[in-house]
Amino acid sequence: ADIWSQKDRVVTEEEWLQKWEMGNIGFHKKQGHPLLQKYLDVLLNGRNGLRIFFPLCGKAVEMKWLADMGHSVVGVEVSEQALKEFFAEHNLPYCEEPVPEISGAKKLQSTSGNICLYCCSIYDLSSSIVGKFDGVWDRGALVAVNPCDRQRYASLMITLMEKNSSYLLVTVSYDPNKHKGPPFYVAESEIKSLFG
């Protein structure tokens, strides 16, 4: 397989917003991801009350699962519609406020306080704005990032991780000559070089 066939593919922010508007969101899993259940112990590693990050979160129901277990969840997503659908579909009241450090960004926070979703590009975030995390659930995130931005994405994620954090990553394996993505194909060797 030619792993380079997708390297110049770009999906713009505008195109993502359009997918949400059109309801073209085949990536959304209503039932939640079985691999999170399977590897939950690896993520938590016996710890309670973790700060868990959901990059490119969409309206992932796993955010509700982890919040209900007593963890504090932070997500980032460019589509405000996605975030509003998340709160609405779980009947969660929330409040909205600007993020002083990021022009145009909003923060949507559950009234209970344990789910905080940033509406902006992930590349606008830094640890001085969102802090560091004990765990990351990366599903539909690295594989949704434009191939040309992978290095930047991985470097940023590393800066957002606490020393003893765990990172669960879901990728997809297929012949990149046959589908244009997203999800993009990320070879295991590339994951190793991105994250070390």
**Binding positions for ligand SAH, rule: CB under 6 A:** 16, 27-28, 56-58, 60, 76-79, 82, 121-123, 139-141, 144
Of the candidates 50, 68, 70, 40, the one whose C-alpha atom is nearest the C-alpha of residue 134 is 50
| Residues 99 and 107 sit within 8 Å (Cβ to Cβ) | yes
Query: Annotation-wise, does 18 bind a ligand?
Result: yes
Q: 87 φ, ψ to 5°?
A: -65, -40
Question: From the CB of 75, what's the least distance to ligand SAH, in Å?
Answer: 8
Whichever of 5 and 81 has its CB closer to ligand SAH, that residue is 81
Question: What distance in Å separates the CA atoms of residue 124 and residue 51, rounded to the nearest whole number?
Answer: 19
Report in angstroms how near the CB of residue 191 gets to ligand SAH at its nearest: 17
Q: How far apart are alpha carbons 77 and 55 in whole angstroms? A: 7
Closer to ligand SAH by CB, 118 or 163: give it: 118
Annotated binding site: 16-27, 56, 77, 121-122, 139
Annotated binding site for S-adenosyl-L-methionine: 16-27, 56, 77, 121-122, 139
